Structure 1
Amino acid sequence: MTHPLIARLETELGWPRLHTMAEVTEFTARPGAHCLFIPGDPARNLETADAAVVLPELAMTFQRAFDCAIVDDAIEAELRDATRALRTPGFLFYREGRFLGAIEKIRDWADYMTRIPHILGLASV
């Protein structure tokens, strides 16, 4: 069962949920930058709900410099292993199919403001 704040990302914001690695490949291969949200288990990890609130705010702060999708539980472990981003919740950044980096666990806002531009190669916000 998904957390209501994660469900909101799909229902209100229209973010896709990626169920297969093929869908991950297709989504991340599109032009531009992308962020995949690996929620983890919201029942065991209290930071998951926080991350579901933080990521839309980050997307707005960075003026939609990246689009977002949710990684389904079915492929979460495989994707975490493939990217070595093992801790959840996690934000995995890609550009045109290439994995750029990850931010694991909840961070201070200033950390996001420093790390995301570095990962995406953007001028600092």
Structure 2
Amino acid sequence: MSLQLSPGPTSLDRLYTAIGRMQVKHNFRCLTETDSEFPAGLAALLVTEDPQRNLEVLDACVILPEALKPLGDRISRLVAGPETAPALMQKYGIARAPAVVFLRDGEYVGSLNGIRDWNEYQVEVDRLLSGPAQPKPIGIPVRVATQQGACA
């Protein structure tokens, strides 16, 4: 009898599974490199990267949908996979993923980097969404190694 071993899922495989779950279960729309406009009204955009670089990325894929639940349909939900994230990180001055960028009618309102305590997350989300648009941060160059695309 021979035992055949196969490799387990990679960190990117786990991320793509999490993004797919966000799309199906929580109505997130996956941004592609050709998307140039954001929906009208409030929007929350999760910016990801390879979880092997930062395991918090997978946590954010679970926490953000739950944090946005109380807002119902009042907020559009978006996610950027690792192939789209570098340009968005540069555009919004994000030093590392995961980060959530909040927009109102396409205008930058603010962002949250990393994972936060649940209460802090809720207070910050409330503050950002009820506050005025902010000047967009100065972009920074970002380099991220990517594999296959997460959004289909």
Quote the residue 2:80 is aligned against.
Answer: 71
CA-CA distance at 1:14 after TM superposition: 3.5
Paired amino acid for 1:46? L
**Cα contact 1:34–1:95 (8 A) shared by 2:** yes
Quote the residue 2:25 is aligned against.
Answer: 12
Quote the residue 1:95 is aligned against.
Answer: 104
* CA distance in structure 1 between the aligned counterparts of 2:73 and 2:125, rounded to whole angstroms: 12
* CA distance in structure 2 between the aligned counterparts of 1:39 and 1:53, rounded to whole angstroms: 12
**Cα contact 1:6–1:49 (8 A) shared by 2:** no
Using the size of structure 1 for normalisation, the TM-score is 0.84
Paired amino acid for 2:124? R
Paired amino acid for 1:99? Y
**Cα contact 1:18–1:69 (8 A) shared by 2:** yes
**Cα contact 1:59–1:65 (8 A) shared by 2:** no
Structure with larger Rg: 2
Structure 1 gaps of 5+ residues are none
Quote the residue 2:117 is aligned against.
Answer: 108
* CA distance in structure 2 between the aligned counterparts of 1:36 and 1:11, rounded to whole angstroms: 16
Quote the residue 1:118 is aligned against.
Answer: 127
Paired amino acid for 1:17? C
Which is helix-richer, 1 or 2?
Answer: 1
**Cα contact 1:17–1:70 (8 A) shared by 2:** yes
RMSD: 1.7
Name the SS of the counterpart of 2:110 in structure 1.
Answer: strand
Quote the residue 2:69 is aligned against.
Answer: 60
Structure 2 gaps of 5+ residues are 1-11, 132-152
